[in-house]
Amino acid sequence: PRYFALLPAAGVGARMAANGPKQYLTVGGKPMLRHAVDAFRASTLVTHTYVVVSPDDGVIDSVLPPDLDGVTVLRVGGATRMDSVLNGLRALAGVLDERDLVMVHDAARPGLTPALIAKLIDGVGDDPAGGLLALPVVDTIKRSAPGAEGIGVSAATVPRNGLWSAQTPQMFSYALLLRALGSAPDANAITDDASAVEMLGYAPRLVEGHPRNLKVTLPADIRIAEMYLANKED
């Protein structure tokens, strides 16, 4: 099979409170998006990488020069992450075959490595349900309920046994991913691609990822990402 990467990078990074979209923040000397793209470019298993940005993106050409090997920018970003992925997939109709495997990866995860990409590909194998990198949950998880004066209270503890935090890449056949995202009921409720695939009745494989593949969401995450980027072995 052929393996492709698709990176949604059309978000505005509202939680980061920085100047500009977070995928362009410099982490370890490079924009975050560039780290993620370079991991796929460095993987000998990946045929080509596609990056979805907003139609009005004015920064991407400096981050990914148009002559960069192995990457194509698609200016078809949408209102939600799911829309950006779906628009990207639709733009590749006729380019990708329905059996081609697509790895969707958040632009805000700069710690990805070719070894993790290979681990995902190996762990999913030829499972038609696809799969994703994920980490077993280490925290004790509480379910909140509305308390007095609107202050949330801890109503229950969710057994963490069997709970995983989803990472990316998440890999599915082109046909399955297109069908799953195209039929998902509510774009805002879809926070990853696997959840749309699960709604079709498939059980994607969980492949253990690595903490270095964290999603940079809060300002302090930049320091953590830099710590991992400084040490390729971590």
For ligand C5P, which residue of 3, 5, 6, 9 counts as binding (CB under 6 A)?
Answer: 9
Contact flag: residue 11 with ligand C5P (CB under 6 A): yes
Binding mask 15-44 for ligand C5P (x = CB under 6 A): --------x---------------------
Q: How far is CA 138 from the centre of its chain?
A: 21
Q: Which is nearer to ligand C5P, 10 or 124 (CB)?
A: 10
Say if CB 97 and CB 75 are below 8 A apart. no
Considering only residues 85-124, where is the footprint of ligand C5P by CB under 6 A?
Answer: 106-108
* Residue 58 DSSP code: S
For ligand C5P, which residue of 34, 35, 48, 81 counts as binding (CB under 6 A)?
Answer: 81
Residue whose token pair is 């290979």:
118
Contact flag: residue 10 with ligand C5P (CB under 6 A): yes
Query: Shortest distance, CB of residue 10 to ligand C5P, whole angstroms?
Result: 4
Q: How far is CA 208 from the centre of its chain?
A: 15
Contact flag: residue 77 with ligand C5P (CB under 6 A): yes
Q: Which is nearer to ligand C5P, 43 or 84 (CB)?
A: 84
Residue whose token pair is 């492949």:
207
- CA 24 to CA 207: how far, in whole Å? 28
- CA 85 to CA 139: how far, in whole Å? 30
Q: Which is nearer to ligand C5P, 107 or 207 (CB)?
A: 107
For ligand C5P, which residue of 24, 38, 57, 84 counts as binding (CB under 6 A)?
Answer: 84
Q: How far is CA 59 from the centre of its chain?
A: 20
- Spatial neighbors of 226 by CB under 8 A, at least 6 apart, are 27, 28
Say if CB 78 and CB 57 are below 8 A apart. no
Contact flag: residue 130 with ligand C5P (CB under 6 A): no
Query: Shortest distance, CB of residue 79 to ligand C5P, whole angstroms?
Result: 6
* 3-state SS assignment for residue 101: strand
The contact set with ligand C5P (CB under 6 A) reads 8-11, 23, 52, 77-81, 84, 106-108, 215, 217
